[in-house]
Each structure stands twice: as C-alpha cells, then as structure tokens.
Structure 1
Amino acid sequence: MDTVKFHSADFDKTPPTVQVQIPKRLIHQGVESGTIQNAYSQARKHPVFFIDLPSIAISMTIGGLTPNGRSNRHRHTYETILFVLEGQGYSMIEDQKVEWKAGDAVYIPVWAWHHHVNLDPDKPAKYLACENAPMLQNMGNLALREEAN
C-alpha cells in the first residue's frame, strides 16, 4: 500500500473533516510486568520499558534509575518531557542542574546534552518519558540520538 505524499502545491486538498480510524489495540496492559528492553536498557545503564501503543506522533517509556544510579550522557533531536513517578535526583541539561522529585515534570530540549541521576542510595527512581520521536521518524527518519563517550 503506497502512502500518498502531499506537497506545498497541494494545500487546497486539505480536507474539511477527518475520518476516525480506531486501531485494533488501544491499551497496553501491565507495562512494567512485561519484558524489559534489555539491550536498550543495558546500553543506557538504566531499566526502560517501552509502552507499545500505535501512536505515530508520540512515544512513552517508563524509565528507572537504580539507587545512586546515573544514565548515560546523551542528546537527541526529539523533545522529551519526564514526569517523575518515584524518587528524587537531578538532571544535568547542558550546564544546568535541574533537581527533581516525585510529582515533578522536567523538559529536555532538542539536541541538549543531558543525563539523569538518582540521589537515593536505597531506592530506585522512576519516571514516565514522553517524546515526539515517532513523529520525527515518520517525517523522514529525523529522530537521532547520540551517546557521549
């Protein structure tokens, strides 16, 4: 099935209404009881669970930081909003230290170097990450990620 590609000169073809298309799956039950993304998690030094839903614009993951844990320093071309579910720590975003605790939301700008640190020596930290990576991938593989050495 070929996807129709519209161009600038096709602006007059913008429809006045949208037909609702309900996907087969609207729920991902038991996200954290499923399989952890081992290779992805190991490479980033913290556990990550992918939320598997058919969104073509946003993605969500549940990430964790082990007690006193730290993620890799990295950057990406997609925006991220983290909502802290459990724990306390900080994120280094470029040269700014942003302290967070459960209930806080943190914004990670496009292409900003960053990493996350759990300050609790006894308990893990957990967050929900919402990103626009699928939208960028669907626009032409524009979602890029770089890990620091």
Structure 2
Amino acid sequence: MLKKESATCMNETDQSEQKQFSSKDFHQTYARPNYVKASHIIHKNVESTGVHNQFSTERKQPVFFIDLPSKNISMNIAGLLPGQKTHLHRHTYETLLYIVEGKGWTKVEDEIVEWEAGDAVYIPSWAWHQHQNLSETEPAKYIACENAPQLQNLGVALREEQGRDF
C-alpha cells in the first residue's frame, strides 16, 4: 500500500489498490491527473505592475515577471537597452525567447544568430550564451519562457554569470 504523502493525487480507496513501484516498473505507472483550481488565471497589464527590482538591477535591463501560479514554467518580459550586451551566462533550465521589438544577436556556445521582431530563439539547458541589442538608439524587447520553476521545485535550478560568479 502507498503512503499517503506519496499518493496525493489518489483518494483513500485508490491507495489500497495501488502497488509500490521501483525504477524497473516505470513503464507500468500511469498518471492519475487531478484538476486543482488555480489561485488566478490572468495577470492583466503586466508591465503596469512595475519592474522586478532585483533582476532589473542585476541584469541592467527592465524585467517584468508575469505573475501566474505555474509551478513548471515561468514567463517574463525583458529587454536590452540600446547597445546593451549581457554577460556570458548559463543555467540549468531551458529558455525560449520571442522577440517583440528590436534587432540583435544571441550567441549560444559557438553559434551566433541574429534576430528581430517576430523571431523566436531557443537557449538549451547549461549552454553558455549572451545577447546583444544591435541598435544604439532603440531598445529591444522579448518574452522569455523558461522551465526554471520546475527545476527550482526539484532543487536543481542553477545559474552562473560571468563577472558575478567567476
């Protein structure tokens, strides 16, 4: 019989019918999804709530976190000031960038891709990367989606930044 704390999605009668699994039994496990009402499902007018001070100061660019209760995916609106280049950095989570405005480039390990509004860029987990805004007069803005909360909840999220961590 499963312990109650390891079977939070199952009710009492389901628990008595379940067997204990080991790693060799992975193919035998079946999800038993359970809807849990979210505290809220919309964050209206994200940028009007203001920048996230810690990240905006650290990254020297405005960062707006989207406040939704996802435990697996984060989303934020960020950007690069005119001519700005980020530090070389890496993290254990994946990132998808959608470019809203501006032109620039992203270096991922030894590959450089140029981007502009309407493009999407993929940053693999633990890849050294950096971004630069190519305009000296206009900011660049992007939406970043990451699986950082999922890895934070598992205790394995890590970020390293040149100039800060080494």
| TM-score, normalization by structure 1 | 0.88
Structure 2, unpaired ranges of 5+? 8-19
Which of 21, 41, 63 aligns to 1:48? It is: 63
* Aligned position for 2:37: 22
CA shift, 1:8, in A, is 4.5
| Identity value in percent | 52
Conserved? CA contact 1:46–1:71, under 8 Å: no
* Aligned position for 2:12: none
1:39 is paired with a residue whose SS is helix
Distance 2:158 2:117 in 1: 29
| Structure with the larger helix share | 2
CA shift, 1:121, in A, is 1.4
**Residues 71-109 of structure 1, C-alpha deviation per residue, up to 9 Å, x if partnerless?**
222100000010000000001111211100000000001
Q: Does 1:83 align with 2:83?
A: no
Conserved? CA contact 1:46–1:70, under 8 Å: no
Instruction: Show structure 1 runs of 4+ deviating over 6 A.
Output: none
- Across the aligned residues of Structure 1 and Structure 2, the Cα RMSD in angstroms comes to 2.0
Q: Does 1:67 align with 2:82?
A: yes
Q: Which has the higher contact order (CA 8 A, sep 6+)?
A: 1
Which of 156, 159, 166 aligns to 1:142? It is: 156
Structure 1, unpaired ranges of 5+? none
Conserved? CA contact 1:45–1:72, under 8 Å: no
Greater C-alpha radius of gyration: 2
* Aligned position for 2:47: 32
Aligned length: 145
